[in-house]
Structures are given as C-alpha cells and as structure tokens.
Amino acid sequence: MTESATSTAPRAPRTMSRDARRAQLIEATISTLAARGYSRTTLTEVARTAGLSHGLVLFHFETKEKLLAETLAYLAEEYRQNWQDALASVEQSPAEQLNALVEADFHPAVCQPSRLAAWCSFWGEAQSRPLYQDSCGAKDDAYNQTMEAICARLSDEGGYGRDPVKTARIIRVTIEGVWLDMMTMATPYPREEALATVRTCVSLCFADHFTPDGLK
C-alpha cells in the first residue's frame, strides 16, 4: 500500500467498541508495517492508514512501542489459533496431522502479503527481537514440540527411523524460508506454489505417506 493510498483511506465509523477500535488500529499497523517497514512505522502513519486521528491512536496505545507489542501479540495469537484449529479438524493419524500443520501455514488467514510482510518486519529488526521473544517464544516452543511429536509418531509408524527434532526443524525451516521467499522474490510466486514446495520437502522426509501433491 502506497502513502497516497493510505492518505485517502475512508473515515472509520465514530462509534465502535474499545476492542473493535483497537483491532482496527492493529490491522492498520499490520498494513503500515507491510508498506513502510518496522523503523518507518509511526503512530501518525498508522492513524493515516486507519483514517483516524493521531490522538485516538495515542489514547488506545500511548506509544509506538506498545502498539507494536500488541500488534505482534495479535499476530502470534492469530497464528497459534490457526494451526491449532487445523489440528483439531483432522483425525489423530500423524500423517493427517502433519499435513494439517503444513497446510495451516498457507491458509489465507495467515499467509497473505500484508501479514507476511509484517512478520518479516519484526524478524528483520534487531530492536524487535526481545519483543518477539516476549510475545512469541512460548508459542513457538509449543508449535515446535507439537510438530516434533507428530514427526516422532509418523517416523515410528512408517519405520523411517528419522530423528524427529531434526526432521521437524527441516520442515519448519522450509516453511519459514518459503514465507521469506514469497516476500523477497522480484516476482513472488503464489500461495499454491509455496505450499507445493513445502509438500515436496515433506515427501522427501516421509515418502511412504506423502507426495509433492500432498497426502497419499
């Protein structure tokens, strides 16, 4: 989103609940991070993106640091809820669970340009690393442990003899790398191609259960 686009954003309704207004400002922050990056995201730019006054942003968040902290916490919780919902929707077989985890990372709710760019903004700034650990450290640990447990069960079930920690890490690093690739390529490839790339990685780890097209 360009600056000219943000400056002409339609005015938001004057009457909204506190939670709805804060969610609106967090969404505007995600868009601003995507357009301007971490260091150039300011309360003024967020207000312009939201079509609201600078004073209203101050009223709800007080400082840029608090707004960014709550934005990261919002993204982290959205991501956690997305993968946990995906797991809850499938049977207990480890192959189906691993497939659900992989597909969850490319669900439109979390894998969209503005959100990927916002994540990259937080990852790429050294000053945001303590903030990232505070908001995401425990959630990352829970995700990693879940994937490791699924990989352990699938390795045992299929007789693969895989190290579940390293296998889970390979899959996770591939997912994160594809996310970054989608944001940095001169001609980004679509979400479907990104998912196919990760499925290829999974099929190399568990060839009896997966192909590059998904579950067998």
CATH number of the domain encompassing residue 207? 1.10.357.10
Do 169 and 93 belong to one domain? yes
Residues 137 and 84 in one domain: yes
Query: Taking 70 as the threshold, does the pLDDT of residue 13 lie above it?
Result: no
Are 30 and 51 within one domain? yes
pLDDT tens digit sequence for 117-167 = 999 999 887 677 888 888 899 999 999 999 999 999 999 999 999 999 999
DSSP H/E element including 211? strand 210-211
Sort strands 214-215 and 210-211 into parallel, antiparallel or unpaired. antiparallel
82 and 137 inside one domain = yes
Query: Are 93 and 192 in the same domain?
Result: yes
pLDDT at position 1, please? 37
Same-domain pairing of 58 and 71:
no
Q: Which of 37, 62, 87 is the last residue of a domain?
A: 62
User: What is the residue range of 11's domain?
Assistant: 3-62
Condensed to tens digits (0 to 9), the pLDDT of residues 87-107 reads 999 999 999 999 999 999 999
pLDDT(4) > 50: no
Residues 109 and 194 in one domain: yes
Q: What is the mean pLDDT of the chain?
A: 90
173 and 193, same domain (yes or no): yes
- Pair (81, 127) in one structural domain: yes
70 and 117 share one domain? yes
Q: Where are the alpha helices (DSSP H) in 51-190?
A: 54-61, 64-88, 94-104, 113-124, 129-158, 164-184
Helix (H) or strand (E) holding 202: helix 191-205
Do the beta carbons of residue 143 and residue 84 sit within 8 Å?
A: no
Q: Where does a domain end: 16, 45, 62?
A: 62
Measured CA to CA, the distance from residue 28 to residue 46 in angstroms comes to 6
Same domain, 112 and 82: yes
The reply to whether 101 and 191 lie within a common domain is yes
Between CA 126 and CA 85 the distance in angstroms is: 31
pLDDT at position 185 is: 77
User: Which CATH number does the domain housing residue 32 bear?
Assistant: 1.10.10.60
Supply 210's token pair: 């997966």
Q: Per the structure, how many domains does the chain have?
A: 2
